[in-house]
Chain A
Amino acid sequence: MNPALIAIVLAIGAGAVVAVSTRDGAAAAIGLAIALVGSALLGDPLPSAAVLGVRVVAALLVATLIRSSMRTGPRQPSPVGWPSEALLATAGAVAGLGIALGLASLAATGGGPVGQPGIGEPGPGGTVGSGDALVTSMALITAAGTSLLAVGVAPLLHGRQGPRRAIGLVLVTQAVLLLRIGIAGPAVELEEIARAALLVVVGATGAALARATAAAAHRLDEGEELPDAEAVDESPHVLLAR
């Protein structure tokens, strides 16, 4: 059993739940940082120091960018509360484990090559469990990915514009990046750079959109007329909520 890997998956889930649930911007940024740095460390064996450095720097940069957008934006806690978000994350992780095991079974049935990175058993890191345990490190990575996906999709697609949607965007992106590794195996170095760049761009974009929303909301609160809202036959507050 590799308890460290399981602990990292739990930390990723907990960080994501805090990021989308809390009313406090600083706590949300810390939760996001934990989820992203945890995702960077999720691998057995760990990648090279250079790749690890790129991943961690990108994760911290994203958390900083999101935090910077929260200073002026509205507070957006989860409407369903943290217990529901935690249950959602758990369900996502369990579903991820199920998907990983199902795909492994499919690969075995189809005569897929054994020993290659990805779902094929066992991955480069071997099994996490002992004896007949089939939970590979890749399965845990898949579980972490689906957990982040479950937590991040709702704020991204149905949340109001602002920091919460930015957090959802980052979590969903990180989820897909984890699923990519969980399903197809470790990335080459060039892809690691591209993945880190993508994560930073997503964070910067989410932060820029959140800041623009906060600025528009601030102008509305000051009573400024925004004529283009009338042009599309919707109130400015409705536009900002979309």
Chain B
Amino acid sequence: MTLLILAAVALGAGLAAILLAGERRTLALAIGLIGSLAVLALALAMPDTESLIIGGVGMISTPVVRAMAVAWSASLAVLGLLEVAVGGRPTVVGPSLVGLAVAGLALATRDPASSMAALAAGGVAGVVVPGLAGWLDGPDMPSRLPTTSRGTLAILGSGLLGLAVIAWSASAAGPLGGGAIPLDPGAHLSLGLALLTMVAACAIRTGLIPLHVWAARFMEGVSPLAIPAAFAWGSAAFVLVALDWSQVALEPAAAGDAERWLIVIAAMASIVLGGLAAMVHDDIEHVLGYSILQDAGVAVLAFASLDPGVVAAARNWLVASATVKTALAAWASVVRTTYGGHRLDDLGGWARRSPALGVAFAGILVAAIGLPSMALFQARTDLVSSAMPGFGQVVAIIIAAMPAIYLGRIAVAGLAPVSPAVAAGLSGRPRWTGGRAVGWSEGPLTQAIRAIPTELRANRAPLMALGVLVLAVMALLTATGGAGG
């Protein structure tokens, strides 16, 4: 029941925030923030296992659902505060709350067709709202329309494809013959085809290479704060539902040698090319985008074996990497807002100018790479090793080294001498402006209270850095503990 209340609150607050964003910015932000905090409280209060039946379908909240709801709503509350500081039309919290509501329901529902339909419906807002109303170069620019249109097609198309393959598999003529796994070896071809189609749906949803063009344009066009809902969390929920269905309906028998290698090749294309693209790009939004694609590639490797242990690792990986990339997106947005630039050439000495932001980035760097004792590191190793027995351990270490290079470049730029663009930006160090509002001469307490808005405005940059620091700590905690997968 707690999950149902959580979904209702998130859906209501999210829709209200979306509908009010155009005319009543402050109210929309307030509703979004309060909604995020209420959802966080409900997620924390949610028991690890709880079940109920709705519309003839069982809904079971599991530790993964709870972990995802807690991590997503907590990071969303911080993103909401950052959205207040960054300014502009609110396009982050509303769609994220809608996405969170449907993701929670979809993961808890035992009917995969309902889950797919809900994810397709709930995921669209994460692309359409920032695409139509939050384009950074100007909300009325026509270039946003093709990208938003393609993004919509990708989200809906992946959901519809998933729905179709679930229906086919459940039909009397499908690979399951309307019942259990067939014993006839000839039917394994159908099973493999169903698995590959579901992987294709995941590839479309997550924007895996070579289906990444719209995703790349979208990520460079909208605020980085809007990217986690559309890609990191939305994709994670989709892949989790697809994995659960594949594991339960198709079982590991579906992943034969041919299917396994096709999946490995598709995933490795995104892992290798995404990692290389993140290494060579100077644009921090591109680094963020390609690193998310790389993470999705690692998660897709779980389809290559469908072993229960690997699926559990995929759950840990998806939730932890989504939290890490949310922190990275927040960092990118704050850097862009504070210093105006988003290319490494313009960001020399950013960490010197804002030490809190530098510390937060160090935390993100550690969480993204992972340490051998961390759940994220172990999950990546398990996923790669299971897909490529024999040499998977080595490949996993190489993949882990990639974030060290592309995030390391950003860290090095932060320690370089301060560039003119960064020097001209806001200072990341806290300061006290004196605190006395003009014409105010009453007692010190009242004076201090009256001074709060002035001090908040004066310390906008360090406060935003503090927000990123909070997200970095969350990323470290999730990377360490996983999702209880």
A residues engaging B (CB < 8 A)?
A: 103-104, 106-107, 110-113, 116, 118-120, 156, 161, 165, 169, 172-173, 176-177, 179-180, 183-185, 187-195, 197-198, 200-202, 205, 208-209, 212-213, 215-216, 219-220, 226, 228-229, 231-232, 236, 239-240, 242
Contact = CB atoms under 8 A, between A and B. Distances in A.
B163 interface: yes
Interface in B232-273: none
Contacts of B132: 208-209, 212
A120 to B, nearest CB: 4
Contacts of B128: 205, 208-209
Contacts of B120: 198, 201
Given A180-B167, A190-B57, A228-B141, A119 B146 contact: no
B366 interface: no
A220 B143 CA distance: 13
10 contacts: A116-B172, A165-B149, A180-B113, A180-B163, A183-B167, A184-B168, A184-B171, A188-B56, A193-B55, A219-B140
Contacts of A197: 117-118, 121
A232 B172 CA distance: 50
B57 A228 contact: no
A70 B122 CA distance: 25
A180 to B, nearest CB: 4
Given A197-B117, A226-B142, A118 B172 contact: yes
Given A215-B140, A216-B142, A190 B173 contact: no
Contacts of B140: 215-216, 219, 226
Nearest to B159: A198
Interface in B65-119: 109, 111, 113-115, 117-118
B318 interface: no
B170 interface: yes
Nearest to A195: B117
B309 interface: no
Contact of A110 (B141, B148, B177): B177
Contacts, number: 168
B420 interface: no
- Listed from nearest, the 4 A-B pairs whose CB atoms lie closest are A190-B55, A189-B55, A120-B172, A112-B172
B101 to A, nearest CB: 11
B142 A188 contact: no
Interface of B: 54-57, 109, 111, 113-115, 117-118, 120-122, 124-125, 128, 132, 137-138, 140-146, 148-149, 152-153, 156, 159-160, 163-164, 166-168, 170-174, 177-179, 182, 187
Contacts of A177: 163
A198 B115 CA distance: 11
A118 B121 contact: no
Nearest to A111: B177
A110 B170 CA distance: 14
Nearest to A121: B172
Contacts of B137: 228
Contact of B142 (A169, A183, A205, A236): A236
Contacts of A242: 145-146
Contacts of B109: 190
Contacts of B114: 187-188, 190-191, 193-194
Contact of B145 (A107, A180, A213): A213
B370 to A, nearest CB: 36
Given A116-B172, A191-B57, A239 B142 contact: yes
Given A176-B160, A228-B137, A209 B173 contact: no
Contacts of B178: 107, 112-113, 116, 118, 120
A127 to B, nearest CB: 15
Contacts of A194: 113-115, 117-118, 121
Given A216-B140, A239-B146, A173 B172 contact: no
Given A112-B173, A184-B113, 11 more contacts: A176-B160, A184-B171, A188-B55, A188-B114, A190-B114, A194-B114, A198-B118, A202-B156, A213-B145, A220-B142, A229-B141
B124 A216 contact: no
A215 B142 CA distance: 9
B186 to A, nearest CB: 10
A106 B145 contact: no
A173 B155 CA distance: 12
Contacts of A156: 153
A193 B122 CA distance: 13
A201 B121 contact: yes
Contacts of B111: 188, 190-191
Contacts of A173: 156, 160
Given A194-B117, A209-B128, A209-B152, A239 B145 contact: yes
Nearest to B138: A228
Contacts of B56: 188-190
Contact of A176 (B122, B125, B143, B164): B164
A194 B143 CA distance: 32
B376 to A, nearest CB: 32
A195 B111 CA distance: 13
Contacts of A179: 164, 167
A151 B55 CA distance: 33
Nearest to B139: A212
A221 B103 CA distance: 42
A226 B140 CA distance: 9
A184 B167 contact: yes
B121 to A, nearest CB: 4
A112 B182 CA distance: 11
Nearest to B53: A190
A183 B120 CA distance: 20
B171 A229 contact: no
A103 B152 contact: no
Given A103-B171, A107-B172, A176 B163 contact: yes
Contact of B149 (A103, A106, A161): A161
